[in-house]
Amino acid sequence: MRRIGSFLSTHAWARLTLLLTAPLAWLVLVYVVALAALLLTALWSVDSFTGEISKSLTFANIKEIATESLYRTVTLRTIGVALMVTVIDVVIALPIAFYMGKVASPRARRLLVVAVLTPLWASYLVKAFAWRSLLSEGGLVDWVLNPFGGGSPGYGLTAVVLTQAYIWLPYVILPIFAGMERVPDSLVEAAGDLGASTSTTLRTVVLPLLLPSVIAGSIFSFSLTLGDYISVNIVGGANQMLGNLVFTNVGAANNLPLAAAIALVPIIIMLGYLAAVRRTGALDNL
């Protein structure tokens, strides 16, 4: 034992190897191999007559996705929904995080953190079905809005945006709150001291410093919405999103290669988003 200990304490590479082998192997297996398998599957095809997978490589699936207007429409719709969800979540999260981080007493802050975290304990399905019931004809939203001449938007994209914005909100609030706590009070005071009104302080000091946190939050809401297929089935009416298409092709259509090709789309979008964000330098402080 002692000999091993002394060997390890004098050989840094041995320590590193021991420490990192297991997690690295896991990462390689889960991420790299899985991604490679996905890419490979996308290059296979299905014999339309027998329904069997042919493992000869072809770009037919990818070509189909790139050229068929159906896929372009669904991709744009999915990006649109993800963007709407992200914008709504950031707009709601900013004042909540500001209140939690800079205004609330320590006790109120703890309570708010609990309040933000609690919905994460409830099942995703329960929350989606809760929104289905809220938005149903004669449901709570109808009942509240009817006296004002409004009503439930019904099942459709609006309902999907509402449901997704609700479900992912904690994932946006928490990083922004953490970022807000890291903004020193003295910076806010210094801005006021130099003559900036509260709104100018928020615009010129707090928001720029929060940008990395906002982006971190937006990565969550954007990517999670991008891959969602459950709530669109529950409250989305007849609308399709990329997730549904993958689901249908794996199941009903029995076309695993096409499903894999569709699944590449959100991955490529996310890579593009991350690359764009990286260029702004916002990830440096993450």
Give the one residue of 197, 268, 271, 272 binding other proteins; rule: CB under 8 A.
197
Which listed range, 71-79, 141-149, 197-205, 248-256, lies at the site for other proteins (CB under 8 A)?
Answer: 197-205
Give the one residue of 119, 138, 208, 251 binding other proteins; rule: CB under 8 A.
208
Residues in 149-188 at the binding interface with other proteins, rule: CB under 8 A: 184, 186-187
Number of residues forming the site for other proteins (CB under 8 A): 18
Is residue 196 a contact residue for other proteins (CB under 8 A)?
A: yes
Closest CB 211 distance from other proteins, rounded Å: 8
Give the one residue of 74, 173, 180, 205 binding other proteins; rule: CB under 8 A.
205
Give the one residue of 21, 146, 200, 280 binding other proteins; rule: CB under 8 A.
200
Which CB sits closer to other proteins, 47 or 193? Answer: 193
Structure tokens at 39: 């890419």
Closest CB 192 distance from other proteins, rounded Å: 4
Is residue 209 a contact residue for other proteins (CB under 8 A)?
A: yes
Q: Phi and psi for 210 in degrees, rounded to 5?
A: -85, -10
The residues with which 46 forms a beta bridge, in sequence order, are 53
Which CB sits closer to other proteins, 36 or 103? Answer: 103
Give the one residue of 195, 252, 279, 284 binding other proteins; rule: CB under 8 A.
195
Is residue 191 a contact residue for other proteins (CB under 8 A)?
A: yes
Which listed range, 42-50, 142-150, 153-161, 201-209, lies at the site for other proteins (CB under 8 A)?
Answer: 201-209
3-state SS of the chain? CHHHHHHHHHCHHHHHHHHHHHHHHHHHHHHHHHHHHHHHHHCCEECCCCCCEECCCCCHHHHHHHHCHHHHHHHHHHHHHHHHHHHHHHHHHHHHHHHHHHHCCHHHHHHHHHHHHHHHHCCHHHHHHHHHHHHCCCCHHHHHHHHHCCCCCCCCHHHHHHHHHHHHHHHHHHHHHHHHHHCCHHHHHHHHHCCCCHHHHHHHHHHHHHHHHHHHHHHHHHHHHHCCCHHHHHHCCCCCCHHHHHHHHHCCCCCHHHHHHHHHHHHHHHHHHHHHHHHHCCCCCC
Is residue 21 a contact residue for other proteins (CB under 8 A)?
A: no
Q: Phi and psi for 45 in degrees, rounded to 5?
A: -145, 170
Is residue 193 a contact residue for other proteins (CB under 8 A)?
A: yes
Which CB sits closer to other proteins, 101 or 243? Answer: 101
Q: 242 with 225: CB under 8 angstroms?
A: no
The residues with which 53 forms a beta bridge, in sequence order, are 46
Closest CB 102 distance from other proteins, rounded Å: 13
Which CB sits closer to other proteins, 58 or 200? Answer: 200
Is residue 137 a contact residue for other proteins (CB under 8 A)?
A: no
Binding site for other proteins (CB under 8 A): 184, 186-187, 189-198, 200, 204-205, 208-209
